[in-house]
């Protein structure tokens, strides 16, 4: 079977395999390792400052001459008042002190929100040729600006209507994200109740609705799951959780251990950590926030409020008080370098299907 597809042709790849952008976990080293082997590495910069965005792009460029994608968040920041946030602030202060972490009020209020508008000029100046995004669709001016620079755009859809929306807005490729996927749902059409469609059902439906190439995401972590995605019409696959255990990942050791031990039922969807629905391994902080009954502020407010506590927990190696984003196939995560994990997948695939 040939690895060639519209995605490999357009993006100039050897293999139609993308390493998923994973903010907080993926790194320039991970993205470069995959790009260097002929896949597409992704650099996650959603919500980061322009300075950090530029640094990460420079770092990735210093590690690979091959194309890589830069991934943005296309969300709006909702209006809010300090009173809206106060109950959650109190809860997080209480949970932190119970656990022995020192947090003060400024840790939960002193935040600055960056959107893709703050990052766009940098991507254009840096000549980024592939931009992927999630949580919405870029506005038409930004789409035009990026396209004028020859950029290929990849949006994320979790249902057919979102895929059609992206196609109508001139997006070149669509990441079709099944409910199995780790991390945040890319969902963005508010009038539809949270789409929870499995990749087996979603992919063929999106494929028959749109004409643009589709990249399958969610639960893919082996030659067999890659093959299944191709059989269902995928033009490429995007793999996230399988790279969390790699040497290049920022995940702390106890997060990697939990991944490897995870059973099929250990992940769940939650809004507790960020205010947006996301899939991760259930832990104590998630359960405490959910059972508190305190209203969870919308993304990115909750995400910013919890950031310091998450950081303290990570420094302490405490996997019960940080986010453990992971997909439903988490339990089969392998350790090793990103290069090894990537090449193993390619090798297994060639052995089974060539
Ligand atoms: C730790 C983690 C962080 C993620 N962060 C992002 C992100 O920054 N941008 C994005 O578009 N998707 C993000 N995702 C979703 C992935 O792009 C992808 O849809 C998902 O990993 C595919 O499912 P899998 O984890 O089962 O392979 C993240 C996923 C994980 C597991």
pLDDT greater than 70 at residue 263:
yes
pLDDT greater than 80 at residue 72:
yes
Phi (first) and psi of residue 126, to 5 degrees: -80, 0
Q: What is the pLDDT of residue 158?
A: 98
Both 219 and 272 in one domain: the answer is no
The domain in which residue 241 lies consists of: 1-77+113-248+337-354
Both 103 and 201 in one domain: the answer is no
CA–CA distance, 14 with 349 (Å, rounded to integer)? 14
Q: Answer yes or no: are the C-beta atoms of 132 and 152 closer than 8 Å.
A: no
CA–CA distance, 125 with 267 (Å, rounded to integer)? 40
CA-based torsion, 328, 329, 331, 333: positive or negative: negative
Give the mean model confidence (pLDDT) for residues 62-83. 96
Give the mean model confidence (pLDDT) for residues 279-305. 97
Both 244 and 299 in one domain: the answer is no
Ligand 1: which of 39, 133, 184 to mutate, judged by most atoms within 8 Å of the beta carbon? 184
Task: Name the residue with the closest Cα to ligand 1, atom 30.
Answer: 183
Both 263 and 343 in one domain: the answer is no
Both 235 and 310 in one domain: the answer is no
Ligand 1: which of 179, 240, 279, 345 to mutate, judged by most atoms within 8 Å of the beta carbon? 240
Domain CATH number, residue 214: 3.20.20.70
Give the mean model confidence (pLDDT) for residues 169-184. 98
Q: Give the Cβ contact number of residue 140 at 10 Å.
A: 10
pLDDT greater than 60 at residue 1:
no
State which ligand 1 atom lies nearest to the alpha carbon of 46: 8
21 lines ligand 1 (CB under 6 A): yes
Residue 93 burial class via C-beta count within 10 angstroms: exposed 0-12, middle 13-18, buried 19 and up? middle
Give the mean model confidence (pLDDT) for residues 103-111. 84
Both 326 and 344 in one domain: the answer is no
pLDDT greater than 80 at residue 71:
yes
Please state, rounded to an integer, the average pLDDT across all residues of the chain: 96
pLDDT greater than 70 at residue 78:
yes
Both 72 and 83 in one domain: the answer is no
Band (107; pLDDT cuts 50, 70, 90): confident
Give the mean model confidence (pLDDT) for residues 70-85. 94
Both 225 and 241 in one domain: the answer is yes
CA–CA distance, 301 with 15 (Å, rounded to integer)? 38
Both 238 and 351 in one domain: the answer is yes
Distance 184 CA to ligand 1 centre (A): 7
Ligand 1: which of 17, 18, 20 to mutate, judged by most atoms within 8 Å of the beta carbon? 20
Both 89 and 67 in one domain: the answer is no
Lowest mean pLDDT among 101-105, 164-168, 271-275: 101-105
State which ligand 1 atom lies nearest to the alpha carbon of 330: 26
Q: What is the pLDDT of residue 111?
A: 83
Both 320 and 348 in one domain: the answer is no
Query: Which residue from 316, 325, 321, 317 is spatially nearest to 267, judged by alpha carbons?
Result: 325
Could you tell me which residues come within 8 angstroms of residue 346 by beta carbon, excluding any fewer than 6 positions away?
15, 17, 37
**pTM (predicted TM-score):** 0.97
Band (334; pLDDT cuts 50, 70, 90): confident
Give the mean model confidence (pLDDT) for residues 183-187. 98
Domain total of the chain: 2
pLDDT greater than 60 at residue 236:
yes
Both 137 and 271 in one domain: the answer is no
Q: What is the pLDDT of residue 84?
A: 92
Percent of the chain with pLDDT over 70: 100
Give the mean model confidence (pLDDT) for residues 56-64. 98
- In the three-class reduction of DSSP (H, G, I as helix; E, B as strand; rest coil), residue 146 is classed as helix
Q: At what angle do helices 199-209 and 160-168 cross, to 10 degrees?
A: 40
Give the mean model confidence (pLDDT) for residues 161-169. 98
**pLDDT, tens digit, for every residue of 199-221?**
999 999 999 999 999 999 999 99
């Amino acid at each position: 079977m040939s690895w060639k597809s519209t995605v490999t042709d357009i993006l100039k790849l050897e293999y139609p395999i993308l390493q998923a952008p994973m903010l907080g976990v993926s790194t320039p080293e991970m993205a470069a390792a995959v790009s260097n082997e002929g896949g597409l590495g992704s650099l996650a910069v959603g919500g980061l400052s322009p300075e950090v965005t530029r640094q990460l792009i420079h770092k990735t460029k210093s590690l690979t001459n091959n194309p890589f994608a830069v991934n943005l968040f296309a969300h709006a920041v909702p209006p809010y008042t300090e009173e809206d946030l106060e109950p959650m602030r109190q809860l997080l202060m209480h949970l932190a002190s119970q656990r022995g972490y020192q947090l003060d009020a400024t840790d939960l209020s002193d935040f600055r929100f960056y959107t893709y508008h703050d990052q766009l000029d940098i991507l254009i100046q840096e000549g980024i040729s592939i931009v992927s995004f999630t949580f919405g669709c870029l506005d038409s001016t930004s789409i035009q600006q990026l396209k004028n620079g020859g950029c290929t755009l990849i949006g994320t859809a979790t249902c057919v209507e979102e895929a059609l929306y992206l196609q109508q807005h001139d997006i070149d490729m669509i990441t079709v994200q099944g409910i199995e996927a780790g991390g945040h749902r890319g969902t963005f059409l508010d009038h539809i109740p949270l789409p929870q469609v499995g990749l087996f059902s979603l992919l063929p439906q999106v494929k028959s609705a749109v004409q643009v190439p589709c990249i399958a995401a969610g639960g893919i972590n082996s030659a067999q799951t890659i093959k299944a995605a191709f059989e269902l019409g995928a033009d490429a696959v995007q793999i996230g959780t399988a790279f969390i255990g790699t040497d290049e990942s920022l995940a702390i050791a106890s997060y990697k251990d939990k991944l490897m031990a995870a059973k099929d039922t250990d992940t769940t969807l939650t809004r507790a950590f960020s205010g947006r629905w996301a899939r991760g391994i259930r832990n104590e902080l998630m359960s405490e926030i959910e059972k508190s009954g305190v209203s969870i502020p919308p993304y990115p407010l909750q995400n910013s409020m919890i950031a310091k506590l998450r950081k303290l927990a990570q420094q302490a190696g405490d996997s019960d008080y940080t986010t453990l984003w992971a997909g439903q196939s988490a339990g089969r995560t392998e350790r090793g370098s990103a290069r090894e994990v990537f090449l193993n997948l390619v090798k297994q695939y060639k052995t089974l299907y060539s």
